[in-house]
Amino acid sequence: MAAAGKLPVRKGLEGAEGAILTCTQCGYCKESCPFFNELGWDTNTARGRVLLSYALLHGLVPADEKTVEAIYGCTLCRKCENDCSSKLRILDILEAVRRDLAASGKLLPPHAEVLRRMEEGGNIFADRTPTTEMHGERERPAPVAYFAGCVSSFSARRPAQATRRLLGRMGVDFTMFDELCCGYPAHLLGAGFEKVARGNIERLRRLGVKTLVLSCDGCFRMFKEVYPESLKDGLEVRHLAEVIDQNIDRLPEPKVKETVTLHDSCDLGRHMGMYDLPRRVLSRFANIEEMPAAKERALCCGSGGGARIAFGGTSDAIALRRLDMAERVSPLLVTTCPACAHSMEVVARKGKKRVRVCTLAQYIEETIRRNEAG
């Protein structure tokens, strides 16, 4: 191959070269990949992206639109890493190549636009309305704060409304605050998130918050795993499901339980290994019928890693595949993550699927209210 000119920034790829060279090109990861299953090209597999990363590191391919699309046409769902025959840390490679592309100014226009909105407006929608106003709440000093996240603040607020009601029922004394985006979209695209992270932590500190509760799996992972400990300074980060689990006796069990199916989000599932918690919580309110692909083997909803922003058609097709599977098991699909729920809900509506999608918080809160109404 002829030299194509090296990427200006290759720091991430240089660090990942050892992992890249461990790939045996066996192809076991092919059918793991939701993008490959829709598009069918080898560049749409982890193997293809690992090979492209090597080629980018050594200037063997140009960082042109096709290459950048191949790298970012990935939901970062981690299914490939789960299935890799060589136990390769594929996500380290995929994140490294994204960091170098972003630092070299090689982003796809829709991704660059999202970063611009975050920079200018503090969230992915560039909406300057205070998030407290969106939820009809106000900031006040409190030991616990609830962080709803951008999707549940500006796009689909019902999951946040259900969460606030549930926290109230459990007697949690919480405040909301004027949130900035948690920074996860920027982190996934390989860009910096420090400005919004510092802004969020400063706001929490001003209110004396010691515990932060999150109902979005991506925001939870961001605060829990990605924000550096030095920044969090002892802040306790808890998923709503953990809070419900701890206070489960405060929420009445329904007399009759419906059968539902559960979608594991990639963030809470493969990334954080939390499979039992949502099942334990949900099983108090419903009977769970598992889909053929559940837990580590769960199919991605298609929206992560910036995929929905730049590859809407493929993202929809991936969601449809998950909905097809859910529909064969139950007319009710519950997931912990409002972002997964929102994108699958939109696709279910468009595709006229006979399955209702809702979040764990919505399902529990509605079930309790329905039972109280008799």
31 binds ligand SF4 (CB under 6 A): no
46 binds ligand SF4 (CB under 6 A): yes
Name which position in 79, 239, 342, 353 contacts ligand SF4 (CB under 6 A): 79
172 binds ligand SF4 (CB under 6 A): no
Name which position in 10, 32, 186, 357 contacts ligand SF4 (CB under 6 A): 32
Of 76 and 310, CB closest to ligand SF4: 76
129 binds ligand SF4 (CB under 6 A): no
Of 61 and 71, CB closest to ligand SF4: 71
Q: How far is the CB of 345 from ligand SF4 (least distance, A)?
A: 21
Name which position in 85, 129, 246, 259 contacts ligand SF4 (CB under 6 A): 85
Q: How far is the CB of 81 from ligand SF4 (least distance, A)?
A: 7
259 binds ligand SF4 (CB under 6 A): no
Of 179 and 217, CB closest to ligand SF4: 217
Name which position in 19, 50, 61, 241 contacts ligand SF4 (CB under 6 A): 50
Give the length of the chain.
374
74 binds ligand SF4 (CB under 6 A): yes
Q: Other C-beta atoms within 10 Å of 30: how many?
A: 18
90 binds ligand SF4 (CB under 6 A): yes
Please give the C-alpha separations between residue 126 and each of 123, 170, 255, in angstroms, as whole numbers.
5, 33, 45
296 binds ligand SF4 (CB under 6 A): no
Q: Which two tokens stand for residue 242?
A: 């953990």
Name which position in 20, 35, 163, 244 contacts ligand SF4 (CB under 6 A): 35
For 236, phi then psi, to 5°, come to: -85, 130
Q: Among the candidate windows 79-87, 130-138, 181-189, 235-243, which touches ligand SF4 by CB under 6 A?
A: 79-87
Name which position in 7, 54, 78, 365 contacts ligand SF4 (CB under 6 A): 78
Total site size for ligand SF4, rule CB under 6 A: 27
21 binds ligand SF4 (CB under 6 A): no
Give CA–CA dist 195/121, Å, rounded. Answer: 12
Give CA–CA dist 341/343, Å, rounded. Answer: 6
Give CA–CA dist 123/114, Å, rounded. Answer: 8
218 binds ligand SF4 (CB under 6 A): no
Name which position in 17, 58, 59, 86 contacts ligand SF4 (CB under 6 A): 86
Closest CA to 111 of 98, 122, 97: 98
Q: Among the candidate windows 70-78, 106-114, 144-152, 282-290, which touches ligand SF4 by CB under 6 A?
A: 70-78
84 binds ligand SF4 (CB under 6 A): yes
88 binds ligand SF4 (CB under 6 A): yes
- Name which of residues 332 to 371 contact ligand SF4 (CB under 6 A): none
Q: How far is the CB of 283 from ligand SF4 (least distance, A)?
A: 28
Q: Among the candidate windows 33-41, 148-156, 169-177, 186-194, which touches ligand SF4 by CB under 6 A?
A: 33-41
Question: Which positions lie near ligand SF4, rule CB under 6 A?
Answer: 23-29, 32-35, 46-47, 49-50, 74-80, 84-86, 88, 90
